[in-house]
């Protein structure tokens, strides 16, 4: 059998590029990383967390299937595949939920005999308006994560059309039809908002008097007519969010409940932490840096009945140890460490450089150490809270340190052993808390 070479029509060549384009996009989407997928997820099932509106434009071929008068037909029997762009449509879609939506579109079709066919010439103008329901099949069957950039929409509804023959005995005579339509739309996302799709739609009229060639239809056709459309197009989603609901991976309500429960359990675990291991959870612990082994109250504060700023157990320990002369050397190191670690502080009222009465015992504690260790010297560091200007607080911290220094000088300590450091504001606590600010209006000591 001789081999016959068939010359491809230019329109066919352009059409053959569509599957190549789809495969190219699919290959590009396959190169996305797991992080890309995570960025595409919408972690909230609220409708406000994804875009719901889409504009769609299609171009393709429409073909009237039936009815035709004798001698008229749309296809060319000599060609296995012929394609002609004679269909254009513009529509908008609104997704009521991630699975279901509505679509309104307008289409224009120009139906005529195929060039080179043996059909008698005809030309029919067909303008249609359709209102349809839309189902996101990918989301309906819950395989959106596996589908990735691909999607599948099913649509169907009612349509109203205007038919106007442009030649023949009924030229420019217009009739109006109604009917139903349904179709399928596979799609692929190019960017977060732009998508490419193919569409196959079948229209069925229920009061069509005309044949598609423009003549009147035989009564045996029962006012019925059908039109098939194959088209390709672009869709663009718009809204405040980055991704349309067609593509967003939206967790179910049960997933969100589990996530919320997990977060609550995490919060409870954090609340039950006990940083200083004193038996009082952090959320109840006012002083979560208490010394291990020292008795605390129900709020985690080291017990200090005489309100001198030193825990009673530490105070008793120091008193007991200091009075033992044989262990004087070791005890000095213990006392020095306690002083240098800030357990002995002198506190002040707001905007005052005079120590509080309860702090007198702490000054006496430092005085005793200096008298028992004549070679020791001390840095006296003053602080203020953050209320007021930085310059004023710097001067106030210096006054506080000087006041304590003068008290020690008058108590018999040589001035050369006493060095003052005005540290200014202590920003380590919440300045809006009155009780917290009391802790930083202080003077601390560093023995040398």
**In a shared domain, residues 57 and 132:** yes
What is the pLDDT at residue 25? 44
List C-alpha distances in Å: 187 to 47, 56, 219, 346: 22, 12, 41, 75
Q: Range of 335's domain?
A: 304-447
Residue numbers in the chain where pLDDT is lower than 70 = 1-49, 76-82, 249-256, 274, 276-278, 283-286, 288-293, 298-300, 303-330
109 located within any domain: yes
Sheet holding 345-347, edge to edge: 345-347, 442-447, 378-384, 418-425
**In a shared domain, residues 81 and 161:** yes
**In a shared domain, residues 188 and 73:** yes
Q: β-strand 194-205 against 225-238: which pairing, if any?
A: antiparallel
39 located within any domain: no
**In a shared domain, residues 237 and 88:** yes
CA dist 178 and 162 (Å) reads 9
* Host H or E run for residue 385: none
**In a shared domain, residues 310 and 244:** no
* Separation of CA 58 from chain center: 33
383 located within any domain: yes
Cis before 381? omega within 30: no
CATH code for the domain in which residue 109 is found: 2.40.160.20
What is the pLDDT at residue 239? 81
Contact status, residue 229 vs residue 87, Cβ threshold 8 Å: yes
What is the pLDDT at residue 272? 73
Cα angle 431, 434, 435 (rounded to 5 degrees) comes to 110
295 located within any domain: no
What is the pLDDT at residue 86? 93
70 located within any domain: yes
**In a shared domain, residues 64 and 176:** yes
Q: How buried is 88 (Cβ within 10 angstroms: 0-12 exposed, 13-18 middle, 19+ buried)? A: middle
Contact status, residue 316 vs residue 304, Cβ threshold 8 Å: no
What is the pLDDT at residue 243? 73
Q: Domain boundary residue among 213, 231, 250?
A: 250
372 located within any domain: yes
What is the pLDDT at residue 37? 41
DSSP reduced 3-state for 389: coil
**In a shared domain, residues 319 and 245:** no
DSSP reduced 3-state for 393: helix
Q: What are phi and psi of 126, to 5 degrees?
A: -130, 115
What is the pLDDT at residue 247? 76
Q: What does the H/E/C string look like for 264-312? A: HHHHHHHHCCCCCCCCCCCCCCCCCCCCCCCCECCCCCECCCCCCCCCH
Quote the tokens at residue 228.
């098939």
What's the structural domain count of the chain? 2
CA dist 21 and 44 (Å) reads 33
Cα angle 223, 225, 231 (rounded to 5 degrees) comes to 160
User: Which positions ≥6 away from 111 have C-beta within 8 Å?
Assistant: 62, 63, 64, 74, 86, 122, 123, 124, 125, 126, 212
**In a shared domain, residues 90 and 220:** yes
CATH code for the domain in which residue 410 is found: 3.30.1330.60
């Amino acid at each position: 059998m001789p081999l016959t070479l068939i010359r491809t029509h230019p329109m066919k060549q352009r059409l053959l590029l569509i599957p190549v384009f789809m495969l190219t996009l699919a290959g590009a989407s396959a190169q996305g990383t797991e992080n890309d997928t995570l960025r595409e997820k919408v972690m909230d099932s609220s409708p406000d967390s994804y875009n719901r509106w889409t504009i769609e434009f299609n171009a393709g071929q429409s073909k009237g299937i039936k009815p035709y008068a004798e001698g008229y037909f749309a296809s060319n029997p000599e060609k296995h595949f012929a394609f002609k762009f004679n269909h254009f449509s513009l529509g908008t879609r609104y997704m009521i939920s991630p699975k279901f939506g509505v679509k309104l579109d307008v289409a224009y079709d120009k139906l005529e005999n195929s060039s080179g066919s043996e059909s008698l010439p005809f030309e029919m103008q067909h303008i249609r308006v359709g209102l349809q329901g839309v189902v996101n099949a990918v989301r309906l069957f819950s395989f959106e994560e596996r589908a990735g950039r691909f999607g599948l929409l099913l649509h169907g509804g009612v349509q109203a059309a205007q038919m106007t023959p442009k030649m023949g005995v009924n030229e420019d005579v217009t009739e109006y039809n109604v009917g139903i339509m349904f179709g399928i739309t596979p799609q692929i996302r190019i960017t977060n908002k732009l998508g490419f799709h193919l569409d196959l739609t079948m229209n069925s009229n229920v009061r069509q008097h005309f044949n598609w060639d423009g003549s009147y239809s035989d009564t045996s056709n029962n006012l019925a007519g059908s039109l098939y459309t194959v088209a390709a197009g672009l869709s663009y989603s718009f809204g405040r969010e980055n991704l349309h609901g067609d593509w967003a991976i939206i967790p179910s309500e049960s997933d969100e409940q589990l996530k919320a429960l997990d977060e609550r359990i995490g919060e409870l675990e954090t609340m039950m932490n006990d940083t200083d291991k004193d038996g009082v959870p952090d959320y109840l612990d006012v002083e979560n840096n208490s010394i291990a082994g020292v008795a605390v109250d129900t709020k985690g504060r080291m017990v200090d009945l005489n309100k001198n700023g030193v825990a009673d157990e530490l105070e008793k320990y120091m008193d007991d140890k200091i009075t033992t002369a044989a262990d004087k050397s070791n005890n000095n190191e213990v006392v020095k460490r306690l002083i240098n670690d800030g357990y002995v502080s002198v506190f002040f009222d707001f905007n005052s450089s005079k120590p509080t009465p309860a702090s007198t015992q702490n000054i006496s504690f430092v005085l005793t150490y200096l008298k028992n260790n004549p070679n020791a010297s001390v840095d006296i560091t003053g602080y203020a809270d953050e209320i007021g200007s930085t310059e004023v607080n710097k001067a106030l911290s210096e006054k506080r340190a000087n006041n304590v220094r003068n008290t020690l000088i008058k108590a018999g300590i040589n001035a050369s052993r006493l060095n003052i450091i005005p540290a200014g504001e202590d920003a380590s606590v919440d300045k809006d808390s009155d009780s917290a600010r009391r802790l930083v209006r202080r003077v601390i000591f560093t023995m040398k």
